[in-house]
A and B are shown apart, each in its own frame.
Chain A
Amino acid sequence: MFGSLFKKEYPYFWNQYSNHFKEKKELNLKNARFVVFDTETTGLDIKNDRILSIGAISIVGNSIDVAHSLEVYLNQEKFNAETVKIHGILKTGNLTKFSEEDAVIQFLNYVRDGILVAHHVDFDVSIINKALSRMNLPKLKNKRIDTGVLYKKSLPYTQTYKHFGLDELCEVYKITKHDRHTASGDAYIAAIIFQKVMASLKKKNENLQLTDLFHTERREGLL
């Protein structure tokens, strides 16, 4: 009953984003919108490293619409010469860059209430959540799927202890590794892997439901 007293005032874009979750939708594998995304960062330390770019594409049914994709580069004070050789993003390149805040707003506008899909999704979600907290905003509300975990679901139980990197999955599914280590390129590769894993899961279980896809370990949304 005192809830309203503690309710913080959020900026317009956040309210818009969170409003998408108020409406209850009947989602299934055919109509659900999966947003496959990837971030390139200055490093793997969630606290201290920063996002350099975000790439995202969405899948509805079996279709990826190239016209509706997100590819955004960020201006960051922090710079790590070590990782430049991985992602190739220079501190002052000729790409159009946005402030972290603008980039996050674009990202929120793009994902809406879509189901987030990424390889090692927890890392990407956490680093975006960190950026959100710097803006005094709550965490992402979206459901999420990790392609690595999803892939394990398609395997016999004995192999589930293994860990699979994006490169290994590319090998398994014979995907050409174009643009590996650009946010969009990795997002695209993850999207293809996602569709292929879905196909083999469907083969394994004809009645595959949307709910079967969410992993149970470390379910942050439940608390």
Chain B
Amino acid sequence: MKNTIAERVYDFLKNYPPFKMLNKELLTTISENVKILYFETDTKIFKIGEPVDDNFYIVKDGAVGIYSAEKNTLIDKCGEGDIFGLRALIRKDKYKLTALTHEESIIYSISSDLLEEIMRNNTEAKEFILKSFATDNNTPETKDLALDDLFADQKSSFVEVQSVQYSENPITCTIETSIKEAALSMSQHKVGSIIITQNEKPIGIITDKDLRFKIATGKFGIEEKVGKIMSSPVITCNKEISIAEAQLNMLKYNIAHLCITQDGTNDSKLIGILSEHDIVLSYGNNPSVLIKEIKRAKDTSTLKLVRQKAQQLLKAYLEQNVDIVFISNIISHVNEAITQQLILHALDEMNQKPPVDFAWLSLGSMGRNEQFLLTDQDNALVFDDVSEKDYQKTKDYFLAFAQKVNDKLNQVGFEFCPADVMARNPKWCLSVTEWKNQFNHWIVSPTNEKVMLCTIFFDYRMVYGKHDLVKQMTQSIYHSIENFEIFLNFLALNATQNPPPLSFFRNFLVEAGGEHKNQFDIKARAIMPLVDAARLLILSHKVGNCNNTILRYKQLAKLEPQNAELYQSCIVSYKNLLHFRSLQGIRKGDSGRYVDLNSLCKSDKLRLRSSFKPIKDIQELIDVRFRLAHLR
């Protein structure tokens, strides 16, 4: 029967991908089954968090804006012929984006069944849809790490349409195998899954998760047969499957493993297995791959390259507003892995093994897991106590070793510390007893300079070596503070020496002179006061092992529920400031410490300014709690 309207829809669709890649019959079917929707200006088509509709959309007339998260940042604008709402591909999910009409719009909606039909029918169209899907999901707030890795930074490179690297020769067993034997085989081969086969064809799978949920809970005994607990049938695909498609299948079926078979069906020979982890590894620019590369790196120049990659990743994360805690975890991991690798290289170069146990400490921002940019290195070394006659020999060994590590770090891009707070400095390469004495000395006779050293050295974190040595140091610090509590008041005085960064007239306080005249020192005036306050308060609660500023405030909020709100606001403003500084640094290629206020737009200034209120509040709290009026 003639359908004039469907013909019109056909005439429209045939001009745009992926429809223009389709044959006439399929496109006719699609056109006959389109729903034509009409939306007024500023109408929501779908919203973040709403269950995904069973269809996707094409703009016929008008314009639709695609927004991410609550912040309502426009990430894409769809005009005539653009498709959106591809999350319908994964059914039973929720929208991660919001679509809002910018103009009065006529939208064609097409069911997911037809979408799948398109993808089955035509490879070219499939690739187009997968690419669009990936771009569609390039959202910064995606909490899911795997997705984040998958879609971060992929807009241009489209790795996801490449074929995946799957694991060949998967571990298998028969349906008659006992659960215990299967588990033994999994542990022996260090894999997280085992496939149950019959005539070389996959019929079921058992993963770590099954063992956790079905065995460890006592639902099934370990002597029972694997058939009892296996998931069956398995989802199969052929070896040409693209990364995005594999990811899609996993999301769709909510599974973490795909079986690769000869012809892609579960009625053919099993040739491999593809896990979620394999997919993550398929992306070059992601943390786990970087760490792997670091561990494999044989020389400093390779590490330097990896560090640069990490920098790119950092930039992408920052520009996409990824949560700063997440970023800092990743970058710290990378930095730590690089340092560890350099230490291993240096140890190799030494002619003999270390005479005693030692530990390598990162200090300052690196110690707090807050170093994003290539700032300078701050580190120290502690070695186990030795007899007096061996002392010089031992110290010489570690100084020579530290010199190598410091040099290598410098080559990778961590500049030497101008104040020479580095392990190669004989002052900061000490035995554990020397360190204890040193700390005690600083604590009982707190001059300005010593308090300042405390602020650097108390934020240490072990990067490599013997944990016990570090534990002794920490205990000794708390012991000394307990015996000399007034030290905390001095530390408090130091923490409040930089007043809130606004003058009485609500202007930014800028540097009065020097190279950075009239620039705003975001580190000294805004970031450090928050760091110092957190350190002081957490020390006063004698909480160890908590070196990260955000973690410290979280801990404080738990310890002092009456002040929880203030601590929460400190976290928010600290995150803001870190983000701001890192982005500045990345853009200007420096440490981001000095901000030229004239270069900021109004909204940036307002954002900065709003981060200052908690600084004032926390300093007031410290002032009262440590009765600083008496000391001043």
Contact = CB atoms under 8 A, between A and B. Distances in A.
Most A CB atoms within 10 A — which of B32, B38, B40, B109? B38
Interface in A60-86: 62-67, 69, 71, 73
Contacts of B31: 66
A136 B39 CA distance: 43
Contact of B34 (A62, A66, A96): A66
Contacts of A203: 40
A150 interface: no
Given A64-B36, A66-B33, 12 more contacts: A62-B39, A63-B35, A63-B37, A63-B38, A64-B37, A66-B35, A67-B32, A71-B1, A73-B2, A179-B8, A185-B8, A195-B38
Contacts of B1: 71, 96
Contacts of A202: 40
A117 to B, nearest CB: 14
A10 to B, nearest CB: 27
Interface in B187-228: none
B104 A184 contact: no
Given A62-B38, A192-B38, A184 B5 contact: yes
A20 interface: no
Interface of B: 1-6, 8-9, 31-40, 104, 106, 109
A196 B61 CA distance: 13
Most A CB atoms within 10 A — which of B1, B4, B6, B35? B4
A95 B2 CA distance: 8
A182 interface: yes
Contacts of B36: 63-66
A57 B32 CA distance: 13
Contacts of B35: 63-66
Given A71-B2, A178-B8, A66 B32 contact: yes
Contacts of A179: 4, 8
28 contacts: A62-B37, A62-B38, A63-B109, A64-B35, A65-B35, A65-B36, A66-B5, A66-B6, A66-B32, A66-B33, A66-B34, A71-B1, A71-B2, A71-B3, A71-B5, A95-B2, A96-B2, A178-B8, A182-B4, A184-B3, A184-B4, A192-B38, A192-B106, A196-B38, A196-B104, A199-B38, A199-B104, A202-B40
A188 interface: yes
Contacts of B32: 66-67
A95 B8 CA distance: 18
A93 to B, nearest CB: 10
A55 interface: yes
A199 B39 CA distance: 9
Nearest to B4: A184
A55 B33 contact: no
Contacts of B39: 62
Nearest to A184: B4
A66 B3 contact: yes
Nearest to B31: A66
Contacts of B33: 66-67
A66 B58 CA distance: 15
Interface string A129-156: 0000000000000000000000000000
Nearest to B3: A71
Contacts of B38: 62-64, 192, 195-196, 199
B3 A69 contact: yes
B318 to A, nearest CB: 40
Contact of B8 (A63, A67, A188, A199): A188
A67 B111 CA distance: 12
Contacts of B6: 66, 69
A64 B6 CA distance: 12
Contacts of B34: 66-67
A55 B8 CA distance: 14
Contacts of A184: 3-5
Contacts of A66: 3, 5-6, 9, 31-36
Contacts of A73: 2
B132 to A, nearest CB: 23
Nearest 9 A-B pairs (CB), nearest first? A184-B4, A64-B36, A195-B38, A199-B40, A67-B33, A62-B38, A66-B34, A63-B35, A188-B5
B53 to A, nearest CB: 11
B28 to A, nearest CB: 11
A33 B38 CA distance: 15
A57 B38 CA distance: 14
A95 B4 CA distance: 12
Contacts of A192: 38, 106
A63 B9 CA distance: 15
A64 B5 CA distance: 11
Contacts of A188: 4-5, 8
Contacts of B40: 199, 202-203
B573 to A, nearest CB: 41
A70 B1 CA distance: 10
Interface string A172-187: 0000001100101100
A55 B35 CA distance: 17
Contacts of A63: 35-38, 109
A80 to B, nearest CB: 21
A201 to B, nearest CB: 11
A147 B627 CA distance: 79
